[in-house]
Amino acid sequence: MNDIQDLFSNKLCMRCTGRIFASIDTGLTDYDRGQKLVFTYRAFFGEIDIPEKCYICNGIFSNLDMYLNMAVDAIGSMEYSTFLIGSKFDPDILIQEQKIQNKYGNKGESIKKEFNREFGKYFSDHTGKEFSKNPDILIEINTVYDSVSLIVRPLYIYGTYLKKRRDIPQTRWINGTGDSIESVIGELLLKYTGGKNYKLHGSGREDVDVMMLGNGREFVMEVDDPVYRDINLEEFMNAVNLSDSGVYISNVEFSSKNKIREIKEAAYDKIYMATVECDENISRDKMENTANQFKNLVISQRTPTRVIGNRADLIRKKEIKYINIEDIHDKEATIKICSQSGTYIKELINGDNGRTVPSMSSIYGKELRVKSLDVIKIMR
């Protein structure tokens, strides 16, 4: 029985005493455990004074209403359905508590863990919001300075886009000026969500001068610190499509971070329509013979000179499924190309000074150039 006398010599409150044995028995609160220990002490040794608060907790569990009001004020009008509680305690207090628990068999839990659990229940009861390990908002209570900070989960919106302009990149320019697919969609999205910033994640990308037509390219928009989550997606989609920007979106839906990885890792064949030009009239026989050489052909492409400053200088193997001749008129030919995802189509045609082998130019025997290029289908 000397152990229980020693236990109460620590002069801890009821809750902090019970927390020393938090892993023993279920269905009890740490306060309940403390009461049972006090009962045992009184049964053998008589009355004992138990403080309402102690140097470990400093009465923090009687201040839940204060922290609730602080958290509600910090959240303001922000829309959310789920939350998670985090907290910061004085490291010295946590060390002292651990020393005490080690002395009695290390069967307890930290005050930090109990506070997160109990305040989480309190917060849920008063707000009607649900606890989640992947929450809309992480509410962190700093118990040292009595302050609240929020970490807001980004909002993710999935869709597909069409680009019907030849002068607009997928992502924002470094200097921040000029349209991009990202800014056309993102700036409107900020108006709907009240967010602070945005980022477009695309399933690949097309060059500035290449139009994205057909069934469109998949994307996920990520919005930082959204105030409003339950936005009208159809209204937002219509706002983009009526913006006269040359960017059109469809299949819009709420999504998650996992969708970014899914579309980034997806490898789809793509169909392109290209207008090819030559310095002399194009021979139909030679062009058709050239196209026939590429049926199910694997080519080698070294990173193009036009992008070598931004990408590693590697050699990639890509399969060309087919090249079809759609039309030939004088010095121009219209061709349809189906290729493996990641193929550099311009270099497939012009050869890039021998960095793509073989190329249409090398087989045709004359320099062929891309006059215009469009993505017309992504084979999902």
Q: Kindly report, residue by residue over 287-318, the tens digit of the pLDDT.
A: 999 999 999 999 999 999 998 877 889 999 99
Average pLDDT over residues 175-197: 92
Q: Kindly report, residue by residue over 199-241, the tens digit of the pLDDT.
A: 999 999 999 999 999 999 999 999 999 999 999 999 999 999 9
Give the pLDDT score at 287.
97
- Indicate whether 66 and 106 sit together in one domain: yes
Residue 154: asked if its preceding bond is cis (omega within 30°), the reply is no
Q: Kindly report, residue by residue over 237-295, the tens digit of the pLDDT.
A: 999 999 999 999 999 999 999 999 999 999 899 999 999 999 999 999 999 999 999 99
Q: Pick from 219, 242, 265: which residue ends a domain?
A: 265
Smallest CA-to-CA distance from 182 within 200, 164, 195 is with 200
- Indicate whether 138 and 88 sit together in one domain: yes
The helix (H) or strand (E) run that includes residue 371 is strand 369-379
User: Per-residue pLDDT for 176 more than 80?
Assistant: no
Give the pLDDT score at 311.
81
Q: Taking the model in full, what pTM does it have?
A: 0.88
User: Per-residue pLDDT for 26 more than 90?
Assistant: no
Q: What is the CATH number of the domain that holds 186?
A: 3.30.70.2510
How far apart are the C-alpha atoms of 141 and 218, rounded to whole Å?
39
Give the pLDDT score at 173.
78
Query: CB–CB of 240/247 below 8 Å?
Result: yes
Q: Pick from 91, 126, 152: which residue ends a domain?
A: 152
Give the pLDDT score at 309.
79
- Indicate whether 120 and 16 sit together in one domain: yes
237: containing domain: 155-265
Number of domains within the chain: 3
Q: Which residues pair with 199 in a beta bridge?
A: 222
Q: Kindly report, residue by residue over 112-129, the tens digit of the pLDDT.
A: 999 999 999 999 999 999
- Indicate whether 351 and 368 sit together in one domain: yes
Active site residue 49: no
Give the pLDDT score at 3.
86
Please pick, among 207, 209, 225, 269, the residue that the annotation labels catalytic: 207
